[in-house]
Amino acid sequence: MAELVFFSGTVDSGKSTLALQMNYNHSVRGRRGLIFTSHDRSGTAVLSSRLGLQHEAIEVDPQLDFWEEIVRRKTHGEAIHYLVCDEAQFYSPEQIEQLARLVDEMGIDVFTFGITSDFQTRLFPGSRRLLELADHVKPLQVEALCWCGKRATHNARTQDGVMVVEGEQMVVGDVDQRAATGYETLCRRHYMQRMTAGRARQIPETAELLPFDLPPV
């Protein structure tokens, strides 16, 4: 039975590495698959991981219809047993529905990888649809840690090193602007306190961290 699986994690949870591993595991067993990604960190249609592994991928732009794309390829004789879909948080809810249909009607396994919520703690639309439709949701085993050592559950966005809580869900803009944007995973407490590792270093260890004691951003 084919399945729609959602591997969810935070920014640093190693999901692209796992996506590449998943593709490898299936391909060595003679299965044929396609890799999709969106807005990869390399800036091209390549799935790349922080560990330096990479693989050619198909870019998922808003116009892509997964159903039509797979039908077209199969019509041309291509064998497709599974899809590896990275950065699935950026896919539209309609694209997630197309993936579910491929599972149900064509028996194709679909392994999706993505971040559940954005830097404002809100679910990405694509991730929400996956949580609603997936046969299995699997939190990634390689769990990211906050600077304090607790499990990191929240994605903080930084702009020029300072945590921001307002802005577009995705950073669009010129290269310089995007380069100044960073992400840091934090536990919920430190997310709420806007206490990034950089800010924590500026505060004496002995200081009791109460919200009203925090230095101005």
Q: Which residues here bind Zn ion, judged by CB under 5 A?
A: 146, 148, 150, 187, 190
Least distance (Å) between residue 192 CB and Zn ion: 10
Task: End-to-end CA distance of the chain: give it in Å, rounded.
Answer: 52
Least distance (Å) between residue 191 CB and Zn ion: 8
Least distance (Å) between residue 154 CB and Zn ion: 9
Q: Which is nearer to Zn ion, 138 or 194 (CB)?
A: 194
Distance set, CA 199 to CA 10, 192, 202, 211 (Å): 21, 13, 5, 13
Say how far apart CA 193 and CA 50 lie, in whole Å.
28
Say how far apart CA 31 and CA 100 lie, in whole Å.
20
Least distance (Å) between residue 148 CB and Zn ion: 3
Beta bridge partners of 6: 112, 137
Tokens for 167? 């802005």
Instruction: Give me the active site residues, please.
Output: 87
Least distance (Å) between residue 9 CB and Zn ion: 17
> β-strands 46-48, 54-56: how paired?
antiparallel
Give the helix ranges, DSSP H, for the chain.
15-27, 66-75, 93-106, 125-133, 175-179, 188-192, 197-201
Q: Which is nearer to Zn ion, 101 or 188 (CB)?
A: 188
* Alpha carbons within 13 A on the beta-carbon side of 140: 27
Beta bridge partners of 155: 185
Q: Which is nearer to Zn ion, 60 or 187 (CB)?
A: 187
For residue 46, give the H/E element and its range: strand 46-48
Q: Is 39 left (phi over 0), alpha (psi -120 to 50) or beta?
A: left
Q: Which is nearer to Zn ion, 84 or 187 (CB)?
A: 187
Q: Which is nearer to Zn ion, 136 or 150 (CB)?
A: 150
